Structure 1
Amino acid sequence: MEDTAWLRVARLRHWLDTNSAPELTGDVRLWRVLKISEEVGEVAEAMHGATGANPRKGASHTWDDVHTELCDVIVSSMIALATCTPDAARLLDERLQHLVDRVMPSCEGMGR
């Protein structure tokens, strides 16, 4: 079986399911979706640091930090989606194709 991004996400999700703090009660989907917000905040912090936008902190981050944090947003989103539905890979693929078809209607059918 090929080691795809979605299989890696499944392994991370399994690890989270078995190692999360027991005091995190309730619907685990809530915690997984909230994690996305945390990661987005880290992207914003890295952006401020990479551009030196905060005069008090100056250049506290690099563009590599921004890239890493963006990847964390994507992975957290994939984990949240996989937590919410067993059809995560199909849904993401369909949504991405819908977006491509919507903005590039002359290219419908390309890459399918």
Structure 2
Amino acid sequence: MDDMIWDAARRWQRFLDEQNGNDPLEIACRIMKITEEAGEATQAWIGVLGQNPRKGVTHTTDDVVGELADVVFTALVAIASLGADPQKAIHDVVTKANGYIPTS
């Protein structure tokens, strides 16, 4: 990920702090926002599958990708809101995940 992404996450965190404060309830709302965005990704996937017979196919895989990207970015903002470095957090989790993949 390039620096623009990390900078944007921190910029959004500062903007939200200025607009809404950063007390525990506000931080909780930012964390819950991740779940809201994940729900939108799920809704889009259901729309791709046409799983709801009343609605049929309502979304594309591009819609799903966009919603998943919203989840990721919202999580980066929440991480920054907790006072952590989003770039380090992602680096650490990728390093951990890579440890589970066998090397051959």
Q: TM-score, normalised by structure 1?
A: 0.79
Matches within 5 A, 1:4-83: 4-20=4-20, 26-83=24-81
Q: Cα deviation per residue 1:56-96 (whole Å; 9 max; x = unaligned)? A: 11111111111110000000111111111333321220121
How far 1:12 moved relative to its partner?
1.6
2:18 maps to a residue whose letter is T
Q: Tell which structure's C-alpha radius of gyration is larger.
A: 1
Q: Following the alignment from structure 2 to structure 1, what is the Cα–Cα distance between the partners of residues 89 and 45?
A: 30
The structure whose RCO (Cα within 8 Å, separation 6+) is larger is 2
2:98 maps to a residue whose letter is V
Q: Following the alignment from structure 2 to structure 1, what is the Cα–Cα distance between the partners of residues 58 and 85?
A: 40
**Residue number in structure 2 paired with 1:110:** none
How far 1:5 moved relative to its partner?
1.1
Aligned Cα RMSD in Å? 2.2
Structure 2 gap segments, 5+ residues each? none
Q: TM-score, normalised by structure 2?
A: 0.85
